[in-house]
Amino acid sequence: MRILLIEDDTKTADFVRAGLEEAGHTIEWAQTGNDGLFLATTEAFDVLIVDRLLPALDGLTIVKMLRAGEVRTPVLFLSTLAGIDDRVSGLEAGGDDYLVKPFAFSELQARVNALSRRPSLVDVPSLLRAGHIEMDLARRQVRYRGRRIDLQPREFRLLEYLLRNADRVVTRTMLLEHVWDFSFDPKTSLVETHISRLRGKIDKDHGHELIETVRGAGYCLRAAL
């Protein structure tokens, strides 16, 4: 499963991420409500895990905004607020389940698994397209102008992120966070190396760069090419 965790507490986030990744899931972590709302509305996830007490934009507001925008991804609230009224307000805001901190990881995992088994209210597209490039998420296949492109797992994830943000500039920091799960800059050429490899596979024999370098800003996958 692909899970979005919106949690400002680093210890809790590390605990949840480590356990779910060991169970084979892919985790995206947003440390602020604004970042979480952006990801939840621009990318596809199977489950959202949302802390109620976030700074600036709180969890209840995030979920209300998602439901108002027709985002129906199942939501599990995490909270230190354990009262009946607190639970009710979370569910009435659009949450599907509510787990009180502190919690056992086994219970969290069971609740996440239960939410993932619920029938989806909307069809989540399994194909990403931008211009002549097509990514089949279900089959983990990529084609460019009809030609099959074999990618390593990290290259696939990098291209997926670029496709989801086609015609937008994505920064090096954004790529480190969402493709490598780094919350810091390792001061290496990691991003540049993988971009170069990806270009070598995609742009082969076509004479132009699908992934454009935006000087001083980052990278942009141009859908029109």
Alpha-carbon distance 132 to 206, whole Å?
A: 12
CB–CB of 67/92 below 8 Å?
A: no
* Top mean-pLDDT range of 5-14, 86-95, 184-193: 5-14
Residue 41 pLDDT grade (very low, low, confident, very high; cuts 50, 70, 90): confident
Share of the chain above pLDDT 70, in %: 92
Please report the domains of the chain, with CATH numbers, ordered by start residue. Answer: 2-116 (3.40.50.2300), 127-221 (1.10.10.10)
Whether the model clears a pTM of 0.75, i.e. scores above it, the answer is no
Alpha-carbon distance 15 to 207, whole Å?
A: 46
For 218, what's the count of Cα atoms within 13 Å in the CB-facing half-sphere?
Answer: 16
Residue with tokens 């990278």: 219
Measured N-to-C along each axis, helices 10-22 and 105-116 cross at an angle, to the nearest 10 degrees, of 60
pLDDT at 206: 59
pLDDT at 119: 58
Q: What is the mean pLDDT of residues 194-199?
A: 92
pLDDT digits (tens, 9 = 90+) for 118-176: 655 444 457 888 888 899 887 788 998 888 899 888 899 899 999 988 888 999 888 98
CB–CB of 221/211 below 8 Å?
A: yes
pLDDT at 204: 65
- Residue predicted with more confidence, 119 or 213: 213
Whole-Å CA distances, 31 to 39, 118, 177, 194: 11, 27, 11, 26
Residue 1 pLDDT grade (very low, low, confident, very high; cuts 50, 70, 90): confident
Whole-Å CA distances, 91 to 3, 17, 74, 178, 179: 19, 24, 11, 29, 32
pLDDT at 51: 92
pLDDT at 171: 92
